[in-house]
Amino acid sequence: MKSRFFVIIALVGTIFTSCADKSRRAEIEQRKTALVQKQDSALADAQARLAVVDSLLEVTKAEHDRHHRFVMENSTKLNNHSPEVLELNRLRQHRDSLQVEWETLGAKIRYIRQKQKESPSQ
């Protein structure tokens, strides 16, 4: 009687284990699929944002360069508190922040692409 009990317990344990393995495999596959979708959407978002930032950066650089030339040509007439110098400083700050965002987005895109290349081999 005891041996039948242990056999039944072992059989029930095996059934639960095999069911759990199948559900875990399905869950792992779902997570892999979700990761691919998340990477794709993050890549698309980063690329779209990079296009906008790149355009803004080009415009800001051109405006900064024009303003910088004007300030340098009139440097003897202007002081540190002149509106033109303050505007140049604001443009420089804006240009630098856009440059940092541009570099960060580029690194994010490279990282996502690298992870996407690695994932099929796993």
CA-based angle 10:12:13, to the nearest 5?
A: 60
Domain total in the chain: 1
Q: pLDDT tens digits, residue range 107-118?
A: 999 999 999 898
- Residue 115, in any domain of the structure: yes
CATH number for the domain harbouring residue 95: 1.10.287
Please report whether residue 66 resides in a domain. Answer: yes
- Mark out the alpha helices in 74-82 (DSSP H runs): none
Structure-block tokens of residue 67: 């303003």
| pLDDT 10s digits, 73-115 | 888 888 888 999 999 999 999 999 999 999 999 999 999 999 9
Q: pLDDT value at position 79?
A: 87
pTM score: 0.72
State whether the Cα torsion 11-12-15-16 is positive or negative. negative
